[in-house]
Amino acid sequence: MGSMRMTFLLYRAAVRGEMQYRLNFVMLLALGLVYQGSGIAFVWTVLRTFDTIAGWNFGELAFLYSLRLMAHAVWVVPFHQLVSMDTTIREGRFDRYLVRPLNPFLQIITSRFRMNVIGDVMAAVILFTIAVNLVDIDFSPLSVAYLVLAVVGGALAEGAAAVVVSSLSFRSVQTWAASQLVDNIYLMFGSYPTRVFGGALTWGLTWVLPVAVVAYIPSSVLLDKTDSLHLSAPAAVAAPLIGVLWFGAAYKWWRVRMRGYQSVGA
Amino acid sequence: MPTLIRAEGLTKYYRRPRRYEGAFGGLRTLITRQYDEVRAVDGVDFTVSDGELVGYLGPNGAGKSTTIKMMTGVLVPTGGLIEVDGTAPWRDREKNAMHIGVVFGQRSQLWWDLPLVDSFTLLGKMYRMSEADYRRRLDGFIDLLDLGPFLDRPVRQLSLGQRMRGDLAAAMLHEPSILYLDEPTIGLDAVARDRMRDFIAEMNRESGTTIVLTTHDLVDVEALCNRVVFIDKGRVLYDGSVVDLKATYAPHRTLVVQLASGFTAARAAELLGPEVPGDVIADEGPTLRIRFEANRISAQEIISAVTSRCPVTDLSLVEPELEDVMRTLYGNRTIAV
Ligand SMILES: Nc1ncnc2c1ncn2[C@@H]1O[C@H](COP(=O)(O)OP(=O)(O)OP(=O)(O)O)[C@@H](O)[C@H]1O
Ligand SMILES: [Mg+2]
């Protein structure tokens, strides 16, 4: 597992590099916290105004929302640098990753570490802690294991979309807008009971773009609400696997696109 | 010496999806099937043997960097064969990477915000060097490149010369058997250039590192390369020794004669007459120049012809400059177009 260790060392170097700019470091951290904090406050108010949405009460909605945040945080902390891959390519830094004996994907994601993602983590953890106390889940070892699996699967489901978007930059396309779009789709459609968006969209958000599998389906399983789902209970339980499969496929696709990389002049 | 690098009919055409401006331009660019094509490398053949130091030369846009990128595994060729140590670099990228070092003169590979030594530590780990090997190599480079004074400074604070030295050490740390240098002396002052050249020569001589070098500085070439491959518009124009290159494209040497006082160049020219094969250029003063083809007549013959007829105070022989060669080659190019 040499690559794992190397990845860790590169992350550590990235954080150290970031800490050279102390003020910026602190500011980004603060920005992350304020941004996510105000996000929570907003959601809180919105959720409060509904009694129930599609049969989900306030506590359950908060749980769903925070599970999505957890998955998002687990995705964004290690992989957020993928969003700037188009810049890396445009500035000609990708060539270097190809002449080193380490997977270029790992080198991309460890090339910087932006501290504001810590805000995402804090927000997710805080909201999740609160939400868990609002719902009535029996935390057996099995359901805890499922929860962990669901968070990882959800992270990979969102990650799959981000990986596909980043692969477009091998064709020297700027991808900033596209990744913002993906981010917002997951936020908008992934944080609520997907059912409210109607049958066609729900189907699309499950099988075309894996959004419902991030939090809606797993929290239905955990909250014992699979009756009202658009898929059978066993399929729902397997939802985290969908994220894993999507990610595997997305990564394969990324490697294929990398073959077409054309570098830059000079 | 066994062949280490082999290129046969090597080709790279850059294909760019046609760009569209305006609203939805990006989206059209994304889905278009229309391409603009640049033939950067267009059927190149050459081999490099173990231990050689080869200059890969050519004017701007000739395709040098593109070829280097194919040799290092950055680019997948459009056609032809490229083999380094028996494998295709683009297919076996990480394996190839283990035994090559690359310096892109325009771009540093060092970690910008960290002390220089941190880059070495990370690379030592990445190339899976043992602690002992790492220490030995690093100490060697600290000595050879005088890295000591700025080893602990963040890379972004280093001068260009210091940074380039750091980059060279970084590329050579893991003892690669091949070193690719794409314009390693660009932007350096005279002293830094000399130092860089000494280092490159030493790596080749002492460690037997095979080196492929591109540069626009012909002094680099004269100082370092026995052999050059000259390309233009993606094709090889010349492949051989620097000596032969000069003999072919700049065959003339010039004998500069200082005549004794009172003896004008014009008079000397008269005395020499048509007997001396070569162009006699008589200046106003006491300096006479005789331009002759080195492979037709020896300098010895000309000198004795001159000294037997005229009173001479000083003689010097001007060798052809590589620059003259380039001018001839570039000149042919403009005619060929
Ligand atoms: N990434 C790229 N995409 C499209 N065209 C490119 C790319 N890189 C280089 N080219 C084009 O390919 C040709 C060869 O470029 P290359 O960089 O190999 O030349 P070079 O010999 O290294 O030149 P220089 O001496 O200026 O560095 C040029 O016409 C250049 O414009
Ligand atoms: Mg170049």
What would you report as the CA-atom Rg of chain A, rounded to the nearest whole angstrom?
A: 19
| Residue A254 belongs to a domain | yes
Please give the pLDDT value at position B335. 40
Q: What domains, with CATH codes, occur in chain B?
A: 51-79+92-247 (3.40.50.300), 252-319 (3.30.70.260)
Range of the domain at A114: 2-259
Per DSSP, the three-state class of B330 is helix
Closest chain B residue to A175 measured between Cα atoms? B26
pLDDT at A207 over 90: no
Q: Whose CA is nearest to atom 6 of ligand 1?
A: A265
pLDDT at A13 over 80: yes
Question: What is d(CA A178, CA A255) in angstroms, rounded to the nearest whole number?
Answer: 19
Please give the pLDDT value at position A199. 82
Average pLDDT over residues A102-119: 92
**Which ligand is nearest the CA of B59, by number?**
1
| Residue A266 belongs to a domain | no
- Kindly tell me the number of DSSP H helices and DSSP E strands found in chain A: 13, 2
Question: What confidence category does residue A1 fall into, taking pLDDT thresholds of 50, 70 and 90?
Answer: low
| Residue A78 belongs to a domain | yes
- Cβ distance B118 to A102 less than 8 Å, yes or no, reads no
pLDDT at A28 over 90: no
Of A5, A20, A262, which has the smallest distance from its Cβ to B113's Cβ? A20
In this prediction the ipTM stands at 0.88
Summarize pLDDT for B92-137 with one digit per residue, the tens.
999 999 999 999 988 999 999 999 999 999 999 999 999 999 999 9
pLDDT at A84 over 70: yes
Which residues have CB atoms below 5 A from the ion given as ligand 2?
B 65
- Cβ distance A6 to B17 less than 8 Å, yes or no, reads no
CB pairs under 8 A between A and B: 81
Per DSSP, the three-state class of B10 is strand
Question: Is the CB of residue B177 less than 8 Å away from at least one CB of chain A?
Answer: no
CA–CA distances in Å: residue B225 to residues A51, A157, B106: 80, 54, 21
Please give the pLDDT value at position B267. 80
CA–CA distances in Å: residue A210 to residues A82, A120, B143, B195: 19, 21, 56, 57
| Residue A212 belongs to a domain | yes
Please give the pLDDT value at position B250. 76
Please give the pLDDT value at position B332. 63
CA–CA distances in Å: residue B87 to residues A212, A257, B71, B72, B115: 45, 22, 11, 11, 36
- Using the atom order of ligand 1, give the atom closest to the CA of residue A264: 1
- Cβ distance A173 to B29 less than 8 Å, yes or no, reads yes
| Residue A170 belongs to a domain | yes
Summarize pLDDT for A167-202 with one digit per residue, the tens.
999 987 788 888 899 988 998 898 888 888 888 888
Average pLDDT over residues A51-71: 87
Of B97, B107, B111, which has the smallest distance from its Cβ to A17's Cβ? B111
Chain A positions touching B176 (Cβ under 8 A) are none
pLDDT-flagged residues of chain B (< 50): 334-337
How many angstroms away from the CA of A2 is the closest CA of chain B? 8
Average pLDDT over residues A32-61: 79
For chain A, what is the domain count? 1
Record the pTM. 0.87
**Which ligand is nearest the CA of B64, by number?**
1
Q: Give residue B84 CA to ligand 2 midpoint distance, Å.
A: 20
Question: What is d(CA A88, CA A73) in angstroms, rounded to the nearest whole number?
Answer: 23
What's the one-letter identity of residue B74? V
Task: Kindly report the number of other CB atoms within 10 A of residue A148's CB atom.
Answer: 13
How many angstroms away from the CA of A98 is the closest CA of chain B? 6
| Strand order through the sheet with B178-182 | B100-104, B178-182, B210-214, B53-57, B227-232, B235-241
Please give the pLDDT value at position A266. 66
Q: Give residue B127 CA to ligand 2 midpoint distance, Å.
A: 27
Closest chain B residue to A95 measured between Cα atoms? B74
Please give the pLDDT value at position B124. 97
Indicate the pairing of strand B100-104 with strand B178-182: parallel
| Residue A72 belongs to a domain | yes
Please give the pLDDT value at position B336. 39
Question: What is d(CA A175, CA A162) in angstroms, rounded to the nearest whole number?
Answer: 10
- Cβ distance A101 to B114 less than 8 Å, yes or no, reads no
Summarize pLDDT for B274-295 with one digit per residue, the tens.
767 777 777 777 888 888 887 7
Question: To probe the interface with A, which of B67, B104, B113 has the most A CB atoms within 10 Å?
Answer: B113
Summarize pLDDT for A216-229 with one digit per residue, the tens.
999 988 888 877 77
Q: Give residue B226 CA to ligand 2 midpoint distance, Å.
A: 21
Contact yes or no for B219/B185 (Cβ under 8 A): no
Question: Is the CB of residue B151 less than 8 Å away from at least one CB of chain A?
Answer: no
Average pLDDT over residues A233-257: 92
Please give the pLDDT value at position A202. 87
| Residue A218 belongs to a domain | yes
